[in-house]
Amino acid sequence: MIAPPSILVGVSNRTVWVRVEGKGSFSNSTGLMQFSKEMTNRGYRQFVIDLKQCPVMDSTFMGTLTGMSLRLRELGSGQLCLVNLNERNRDLLGGLGLDRFFTMDQTPEPGAADQTLPSSEEGRMARTETMIEAHEAVVAANPANEAKFKDVLDYLKQDLHHTR
């Protein structure tokens, strides 16, 4: 049996460490987004995301990472570093022009990501809001992505309107 995707987190030397185990997708984006917002609110500005055990990411997850990076830029300091990317994830980020929003490294110092983020029991509305925020970040990061995700965003906004 394949273990469900999980996200492990920890803090060491004022750096937030995140290790993604399994697919990075809409199903684990809300928890990561909430966690990163809380950590930036607490003053953390250095994030290292280890993708060694992450075979693939969907657009929501890539948008969540991009949103994290954009928030650090808005705050005027900080860095989001992606480490141990496989070629597929590197190509996915590059194909959307998102790779320029991250520092990418293959040999990070050991991190302290040993606490599992709790599985988010978010409802449909929270998941849809996360998906909208993530896709808007993808478009904000690279306006050329607007045409690629216009229909997705329209659908999600319509779905959210009908859910309320």
**Can you name the residues that pair with 48 across neighbouring β-strands?**
17, 81
Task: Give me the residues of the chain with pLDDT under 50, please.
Answer: 1
CA 56, CA 37: separation in Å to the nearest integer? Answer: 23
* Strands lying side by side in the sheet with 115-116: 103-105, 79-83, 46-53, 15-21, 6-12, 115-116
What confidence tens digit (pLDDT) does each residue in 22-46 have?
999 998 999 999 999 999 999 999 9
Pairing mode, strands 115-116 and 6-12: antiparallel
Give residue 116's pLDDT.
74
Give residue 1's pLDDT.
47
Predicted TM-score (pTM) of this structure: 0.86
Q: How many CA atoms lie within 13 A of 34 on its CB side?
A: 15
Give residue 120's pLDDT.
58
